[in-house]
Amino acid sequence: MNDAADAVTSGGATGRTVVITGASSGIGEAAALRLAERGATVVAVGRSPERTAAVAARLGTEPIIADFARLDDVERVARELNRLPRIDVLANNAGGVFGDPTKTVDGFEKMFQVNHLAPFLLTRLLLDKLAESRATVIQTSSSGARLTGKILRDDLQHERRFRPTVAYGTVKLENILFTTELHRRHGGDGIAAVAFHPGTVATSFGTQSESPLMRAITTNPLSRRLMGSAADGADQLVWFSSTRPGADWEPGRYYEKRRIATRVNPQVNDAELATWLWDESERLLGDRLP
């Protein structure tokens, strides 16, 4: 058994290489620092050059700067990460809440691209490395998947009638379906996929939104006092990264509070829809995929 496997068997993270996107603040930053304290080598991927560099300096690793609203950035990140000797954990944690529908330079609705299509692309471009490393792939989802998510096959990006809360719930639902389909397709290759709801956390997440309501909720001092901390939200990400899939948790599932969620959107259980979403995501990405 190698050092990384020994560490996981004993419930630690020593010797593991963990890649966390959205690591420049909030849940990603909190998880990165805690895993580094536990002995992991943590690679921080973030949008802000200044904040990502500051976090990486504390981790003792080089920062990787990327804006997931640009798929060229995602491809560059994948090239850099494929140079690593191994990746034991890929935490697809980056995301954002935005207001009115906005097209990225790649022609996709921004919330759809940043939260679903970009991490899908990154994971696909790293598949060989992840399988070789017998990696864990983590998706930071949300209870919004259950509350407002609805995948429409004829309007995947909600372009006909865009509502920020519905679009956000939908991309978080897509995170879960991506997890189940990744497990179905590549669980036998050694990849352990899992998604989780971090809880209602007081981070800067909603401040990116162009929605006045979302900004008010996430910046109001009273509402923030009722939310958990970034460290609270990072708990499950750290747990998945430093424990054993198949022994401590079940791959291919969606978790809340370290337990398989029982209250979920009905579309979570639609295996045919998960397959369709994967195939449609590949179609949209076209020749960006090998």
Catalytic residues: 168
The CA distance from 99 to 120, in Å, is: 22
The residues facing 197 across adjacent strands are 256
Please answer whether residues 210 and 230 qualify as being in contact, where contact means their C-beta atoms are separated by less than 8 angstroms.
Answer: no
Strands (E), 231-285: 253-256, 259-260
Give the type of residue at 44.
A
Strands (E), the chain: 17-21, 41-46, 64-65, 89-92, 136-140, 192-197, 253-256, 259-260
Instruction: Give me 222's structure tokens.
Output: 């009273």
Alpha-helix runs per DSSP H in 96-254: 110-112, 118-125, 127-133, 144-147, 164-186, 212-219, 221-225, 230-241
Q: Is residue 217 within a helix (H) or strand (E), and if so which, with residue range?
A: helix 212-219
Please answer whether residues 77 and 44 qualify as being in contact, where contact means their C-beta atoms are separated by less than 8 angstroms.
Answer: no
3-state class (DSSP) for residue 124: helix
Q: How far is CA 65 from CA 47, 56, 93, 230, 246, in A?
A: 6, 11, 14, 21, 33
User: If we measure between CA atoms, which residue out of 188, 148, 155 comes closest to residue 169?
Assistant: 148
User: If we measure between CA atoms, which residue out of 268, 245, 271 comes closest to residue 193?
Assistant: 245
